[in-house]
Amino acid sequence: MPYKAPVEEFRFLFDHVADLATVSGTDRFAEATPDVTAAILTEAGRMCEEVLDPLQRVGDTHPARLENGVVRTPPGFDEGYRAIADGGWVSIGADPSHGGMGLPMTLTTAVNEMMSGACLSIQLNPLMTQGQIEALEHHASDEIKALYLPKLVSGEWCGTMNLTESQAGSDVGALRTKAEPNGDGTYAISGQKIYISWGDNDFTTNVCHLVLARLPDGVPGTKGISLFLVPKYLPDEDGAPGRANDLRVVSLEHKMGLHGSPTAVMQYDGATGWLVGEEHDGMRAMFTMMNNARLGVGVQGIGVAEGAYQHALAYAMDRKQGRSLIEKGTGTIIDHANVRRMLATMRAEITAARSIALACAASIDMETATGDAKWAARAAFLTPITKAFGTDTGIAVANTGMQLHGGMGYIEETGAAQYLRDVRVTAIYEGTNGIQAMDFVARKLSDGGEAAHAILDEIEAQAEAARERFPDLAEPVWQAGETLRETVDWMLAQKDMNQRFAGAVPYLRGFARVLGGHYHLLAAMAEAREGARTRLARFYITRLLPEHVSLLAHATSGADDLYALTLEDLGA
């Protein structure tokens, strides 16, 4: 089934859940009027449907490959990328002084999701560039900004992020890549990086790598790491790509999915680079890009979930099997109760995850526009939930879509399996979901629970406001908020961090469950009379929200029973 961009869904959520009007009411984002927003969504949606969606299967069946040191991308990817770049979709949120649109992250998030739903393999490229643009805007010298940002913003050049090494995955501080001063303000970068998404391509004139490396006087661990900009081609005096830098693609990873997107092993042999930010402060600068990417990766999961859902719905409406047990049915498998349950679960989960992501993006926008520390804390708090729950939702929905197809879901020609293969990595990269959960119970509670309690206050206040109209929906959401508040307080009481870490994943998921109920209730309240959104909210709150009870019970079980199991008990 051809992908259909959920433009109207975004417009509804902007108006009633993410509150884009508050964002556009600031001086910083005053140009994000309803007319501009509608035009952006419509045009981006059309590009996704007409240009990117046809590349979804092409990228899977004609993978990116390395030929004689040159990366060859799938047929049509050059035209697809050019449509993204020429449409300005790389740089929606970039500073207008360098050619960007300067529009809210909330709008960028919607466009990124639509591109992910149409073709995740190609969308990963501009996502990396968007993160690099933000990192350079915040940390690079004026000279670097003037030379690189216009070309990154226009899509003429693209960007990557180089953190991981074979011995330094999540433990970035164990990296061995070195940076030696050249004496002229540049540095010689030497080392090898792995898992570099879109490490090279054959459709942009330059690829700009942000590389973490250690200077000779850098102390061990993350505090001794610096960040460098290392281009594939060194710019000449006119800023055009000049001679090749001393770097190369060693190989491309053989992956489960995302075959259209080249994931490279990169070798740097004294490559020329420029320092970004201060010496030994590379992690802070890189985290600017990583936080952008964590929101973006969560949105990738949601986009794939939307694509998988549309694919499954079309199949359910077409496939005839069994006898319908309902009057005036369609005669297809969508009449069957279990198929209906699967589809309702998929749709309800997408709405919950999408609402969380947009709320996170809107918080980032409000922080940008106002500088208010409370918005910054809210954005930081919602980021790991967005990343982990968004990608978990993508995996679960894609898996359910395969199940709905029955045996045909296991046959590659139907395309159902590709969604699951492509989205599976999103729970792993940009910090595994387990690491997101550990951050959620550690750094995100380091304020004594202030950000968490502020969100819980909103959830309970909204539930109180909804009691008169929807008593059957408001009460469970309010009670879920109270149970979650007790769990937050339990986490805060644990001074041994391992007690928190043992239940971090179910705690994060339980928080997402309750947020999902809150946003579904908001959507129901926005309807003039009971309609599709109220019915979907009732399904979520009745059937899915109760999972928070077991999740939060798991979260508060501590770590003792885990370590009571001996290695022999585990079969080691």
- Catalytic site residues? 430
Question: 164: which DSSP letter?
Answer: -
Q: Which of 515, 148, 121, 541 is nearest to 356 (CA)?
A: 515
> What are the tokens at 45?
């949606």
Q: How many CB atoms lie within 10 A of CB 325?
A: 9
Phi, psi of 350 (to 5 degrees): -60, -45
Residue 460 CA to its chain's centroid (Å): 28
Show the CA angle centred on residue 124, arms to residues 31 and 343, nearest 5°. Answer: 90
Tokens of 115: 């591109």
**Alpha carbon of residue 328 to chain centroid:** 41
Closest CA to 100 of 22, 27, 153, 147: 153
Burial 432-446 (b: 16+ CB within 10 A, else e): bbbbbbbbbbeebbe
> 402 in helix, strand or coil?
helix
User: Contact, 342 vs 93, CB < 8 A?
Assistant: no
Q: To 10 degrees, the CA torsion angle through 425, 204, 69, 119?
A: 30
User: What is the CB neighbour count within 10 angstroms for residue 299?
Assistant: 34
Closest CA to 422 of 253, 289, 308: 308
Closest CA to 19 of 445, 369, 476: 369
In terms of DSSP bridges, do strands 225-231 and 206-214 run parallel, antiparallel, or are they unpaired?
A: antiparallel
Measured in degrees and rounded to the nearest 5, phi and psi for residue 551 equal -65, -45
Cα–Cα distance measured from residue 368 to residue 105, given in angstroms and rounded to the nearest whole number? 10
Q: Say which residues have a Cβ less than 8 Å from residue 485's Cβ, sequence separation at least 6.
A: 453, 456
Contact 531, 540 (CB under 8 A): no
- Separation of first and last alpha carbons in the chain: 47
